[in-house]
Structure 1
Amino acid sequence: MELADLSAVDAVAMFRSGAVSPVEMLDAVLSRVDRCEPVLRATYSLDAEGARAAAKAAEQRWRRQEPVGALDGVPVTIKENVATKGTPVPLGTAATELVPADADGPAAARLREEGAVIIAKTTMPDYGMLSSGLSSFHATARNPWDTSKGPGGSSAGAGAAGAAGYGPLHVGTDIGGSIRLPAGWCALVGLKPTFGRVPVDPPYPGRVVGPMTRTAKDAALMMSVLSKPDSRDHLSLPPQELDWRCPPVYPRGLRIGLQLDAGVGLPVHPEIAAAVTEAARAFEAAGAAVEPIEPIITREMLDGLNDFWRTRFWSDFERMPLERREKVLPYIREWVESGADLSGVAVYRGYSQMDAMAVAAERALRPFDYVLSPVSPVPAFAAELPSPTNDPLAPFEHIGFTVPYNMSGQPAVSVNCGFTSDGLPIGLQIAGHRFNDAGVLGLVRTYERIRPAQPDWPKL
């Protein structure tokens, strides 16, 4: 195995034993980035010099057996909408005025405190409102499994970086599926934690920060750091000591729901339905009781959310100077402007659908320990497209499985469960009850053991 492909758990063990140094691992990761980045375009503000200084400091600490924290010397990338001190936060759009951030956001601060080596920020689409790597500011990100496809979004660069081996740990954000969708399309483990589990600045209903990794153990290790408190998030949960070792959750005796119909949006691709069904059978063979469940959300819920989100963006967009508006990706501009004339009543009804989704998701999960579903109804799509529909008036037809858990605050994770006949990854979503983040990762650990053998990671 190349050093760039080491898991974080294995890297820490090898740093401790002296078998590998943080500098050696970083050099391998930067070499991988140099080789792949001309095609993948996953990074923003790559800081090789700063990363080398951090890795050398970590190397000295490990020689003294005095690591500063759980991730000392481990390479990490951070999505560009999570602030890092001194780096502008463009939010994926050329319309942003570039001003260096005056402080690390909560996730970046916790990672630095634990010794992680930040090598780069990762790219995203305009305002994080696309499930693609298309951006008016960044070059178009591409999927390492098939570079004609996008990695998904909005944590687009993080998905591509994780699959390509730009180190083991990647920070994403998710308000409708933006961790789980690229994780699913890039064969990663991507956790949308319980709302409030990981502090966010600024906080907003449904928005979370979470890990994107190749294994559940690495996601758990990262969560042990990201979940530490930060007073800037007034919506965050009280600090809680959880067992972030996330031991495997064994299926025997579990009740697991199986959802194959989102109830709204694009139909599920037959190969995706087959792969998710096969995953459910694997849990059943291991002793779980698996039962089909009905769709969770409705057309009224998804359209109402679209109304509210368009108006929320329009409230900022209309105050922007015309020359800045014109820099926004045309697809996003058309989507935002389509909400300009919605009435106050329509917007309120749209906002109320967030709560309706939350109630529906909680009710659906209540009889079960976990619920399985596809992450997305469709596989990765062309890198040049902003969304699977390519229609700004129907932009969310692919998030019917993911968005309910943003609104309910329940943890949900993506894990690879197979590949299409074209070799594209298929994501299985596992959702659990609020606060049971360790449980969903534990069930992923079990699934990693019982699923079919995985192919090698793509090499460019």
Structure 2
Amino acid sequence: MRHLRLPAFPLPAAEIDLISGTIADLQVGYQEGRFSACDVAAACLARIARLEPYLNAFISVNMALMDDAAQIDAERQAGVRKGPLHGVPIVIKDNMNVAGIRTTAGYAGFASDDRVLDPSGAVFNGIDLIPERDASVVARLKQAGALIVGKSNLPDFGLDGLRADSSYNGDTLNPYDARFAPGASSTGSAAAVAAGFGIASLGTDTAGSILFPASAQSLVGLKPSFGMVPIDGVFPGLSSHHDVAGPIARTVADVAILMDVLAGPTPADPRTARRAGTPDFAAALNADALRGARIGLFEPGQWAPDLHPAIAEHYRLMTDVLSGLGAELIPVVFADTDWRARWESRTSFVATNSYLAGVDAYLSALGGSNPSSRSAFRERAGFEIGAGTTAPLHGLLSSAAINVGADDAGMIAVIEQARALRAQYETILRDKGIDALFFPRSVNPLPDIGGDTLAYLGDQVVGTEINEMGLPVVTVPAGFLEDGRPIAVDIVGPAIDTDAAILAFAYAFEQATRLRRAPVLPGERPTP
């Protein structure tokens, strides 16, 4: 637990806003010569050294960060500009491979400096998994000149929908209030951005793991369409058929800039092959995008039960914002169809999934001297992957009774059902001329950190459905409840690959409201 130990780093002389600054702010500072990449890296490290013992957002920090920053400065001196991410500090989730750096996925069994207790009572040392190649998303960040600050904390294998109770590294706290749940498995990635350890981060999402932590920490998070962003080199969630990787940032514009780097097909991930090209996400942003748009509203019983009174009142105020921006609000989208009945009759991914096959596929791609399968890991380590885990969902999802091969007939049937449901969803919205759905992120206020994981997952208005169908959704800060709990809204795409369109709507909403405020961390004053 809490393995990360850092020396104190002095703050650079240059003034750098890491708590509320954006990618654009950073690039302006570079262009005006107010600071260097080394200054930015030093500022990140100084904040991490001071605040990380409190927040516990990281599993590992890039100890070569200053050297990487010096390389960025040399490139800039030579006139090289790699685009808007050149010299931008980014945090990645520690289920994503970085060549030569251990991937723990939050699990003590994937760390040689930790140990696990297996069901027989025997104690074993963990085994380091050292990938030979970067995940495609990491490679794309590096090619764009981003500074990789470190790898964020997560629950074991990403299998907790409420917090990051990692068996290797413990809990990550919510920067807004330690009592509040930090939200699902990309918790460390969100906390690192909210606390100013980096400008943006990457998370992964299988059933709300980007959206919940972003909303819980007053950030923007995009769950992209399935196949929009490659996920090779990422430790699997529940299913290789709807897991995604995506950005978390403070603004919609920063999310769009990251998507311009991350999105697009690659031979390394066949799941991206259907796409011949990708949109220009940043260029599509438009503060007037909601004018004339037809926006579907929350319907009790279709996606989730009735809203908590505080959520319902807040949601009403947010829909008033949309009306003021010129949107046409559509109260009935699904209630006059058989959508819900068809959805409830499907075979769920928690009844049939390919999680264990995904673990084997991940291990086989690591290369080098790493164990190439679960059985090879067991033979070398002496215990099964998952022994000693703290993840509340691992036992359910790793059950041999529900796990099949990725190409098994049962798995193919589940995928085909999801495609048919998506086709119906898209037809309903197309026939009714709906441009997007606008929902509360959750039916209840953000719970405390000791809350119930399954109840919290069930609080989502959209989560499982959107992931199974592969649709995009963006969560946007929408202020705070009376007790200070962050609250957010979701904008859901009308079809797969409408990511750029919903980001444009999110940008219009954000620019009109500007409801996010930075957290007040120990020893700091509120941001004006």
- State which drifts further: 292-301 or 153-162: 292-301
CA distance in 2, matches of 1:349, 1:144: 42
1:215 is matched with 251
Shift of the 325–11 alpha-carbon distance from structure 1 to 2, 3 Å rule, reads: closer
CA distance in 2, matches of 1:21, 1:39: 28
SS at match of 1:3: coil
| Equivalent position amino acid for 2:439 in 1 | S
2:64 is matched with 50
Contact 1:86 1:100 in 2 (8 A): yes
Contact 1:134 1:384 in 2 (8 A): no
Establish whether residue 422 from structure 1 lines up as the match of residue 487 from structure 2: no
Residue 187 of structure 1, CA deviation = 0.9
**Among candidates 200, 204, 208, match of residue 173 of structure 1:** 204
CA distance in 2, matches of 1:438, 1:349: 30
Contact 1:42 1:142 in 2 (8 A): yes
| Equivalent position amino acid for 2:280 in 1 | L
Shift of the 353–270 alpha-carbon distance from structure 1 to 2, 3 Å rule, reads: farther
Establish whether residue 304 from structure 1 lines up as the match of residue 348 from structure 2: yes
Larger-gyration structure (1/2): 2
Shift of the 264–349 alpha-carbon distance from structure 1 to 2, 3 Å rule, reads: farther
Residue 223 of structure 1, CA deviation = 0.9
CA distance in 2, matches of 1:195, 1:272: 29
Shift of the 60–226 alpha-carbon distance from structure 1 to 2, 3 Å rule, reads: same
1:66 is matched with 80
Residue 121 of structure 1, CA deviation = 0.6
**Among candidates 230, 240, 250, match of residue 266 of structure 2:** 230
**Among candidates 245, 269, 282, match of residue 321 of structure 2:** 282
Residue 241 of structure 1, CA deviation = 5.0
**Among candidates 447, 451, 454, match of residue 381 of structure 1:** 447
Residue 224 of structure 1, CA deviation = 1.1
1:241-300 deviations in whole A, cap 9, x for unaligned?
Answer: 525333214222110001253646675332223222322211112211101234765673
CA distance in 2, matches of 1:306, 1:84: 30
Contact 1:69 1:113 in 2 (8 A): no
Query: Could you say what the CA RMSD is over the residues aligned between the two structures, in angstroms?
Result: 3.0
Residue 105 of structure 1, CA deviation = 0.4
CA distance in 2, matches of 1:330, 1:438: 34
| Equivalent position amino acid for 1:307 in 2 | A
- What is the percentage of aligned positions where both structures have the same residue? 28
Residue 213 of structure 1, CA deviation = 0.2
- State which drifts further: 68-77 or 379-388: 379-388
Residue 335 of structure 1, CA deviation = 2.4
Runs of at least 4 residues off by over 4 Å: 264-267, 295-299, 313-324, 341-353
2:116 is matched with none
Alignment of 1:82-121 (within 5 A): 82-96=96-110, 97-121=127-151
Contact 2:311 2:444 in 1 (8 A): yes
1:392 is matched with none
CA distance in 2, matches of 1:342, 1:448: 41
CA distance in 2, matches of 1:351, 1:196: 14
| Equivalent position amino acid for 1:62 in 2 | R
Establish whether residue 451 from structure 1 lines up as the match of residue 513 from structure 2: yes
Establish whether residue 358 from structure 1 lines up as the match of residue 422 from structure 2: yes
Contact 1:253 1:287 in 2 (8 A): yes
**Among candidates 253, 263, 278, match of residue 292 of structure 2:** 253
| Equivalent position amino acid for 2:501 in 1 | G
**Among candidates 18, 27, 34, match of residue 4 of structure 1:** 18
- State which drifts further: 328-337 or 95-104: 328-337
| Equivalent position amino acid for 1:245 in 2 | A
Shift of the 214–315 alpha-carbon distance from structure 1 to 2, 3 Å rule, reads: closer
Alignment of 1:256-335 (within 5 A): 256-261=295-300, 263=302, 268-292=307-331, 293-294=333-334, 297=340, 300=344, 304-309=348-353, 312-313=355-356, 322=383, 324-329=385-390, 331-335=392-396
Residue 330 of structure 1, CA deviation = 6.1
TM-score normalised to the size of structure 2?
Answer: 0.78
Contact 2:206 2:242 in 1 (8 A): yes
Contact 1:279 1:451 in 2 (8 A): no
Establish whether residue 397 from structure 1 lines up as the match of residue 458 from structure 2: yes
Residue 160 of structure 1, CA deviation = 1.1
Shift of the 170–373 alpha-carbon distance from structure 1 to 2, 3 Å rule, reads: same
1:186 is matched with 217
Residue 342 of structure 1, CA deviation = 9.1
Contact 1:275 1:418 in 2 (8 A): no
Residue 127 of structure 1, CA deviation = 1.7
Contact 1:61 1:68 in 2 (8 A): no
1:329-359 deviations in whole A, cap 9, x for unaligned?
Answer: 2623442476737999997876665345434
| Equivalent position amino acid for 1:405 in 2 | I
* Structure 1 gaps, min length 5: 390-394
| Equivalent position amino acid for 1:230 in 2 | T
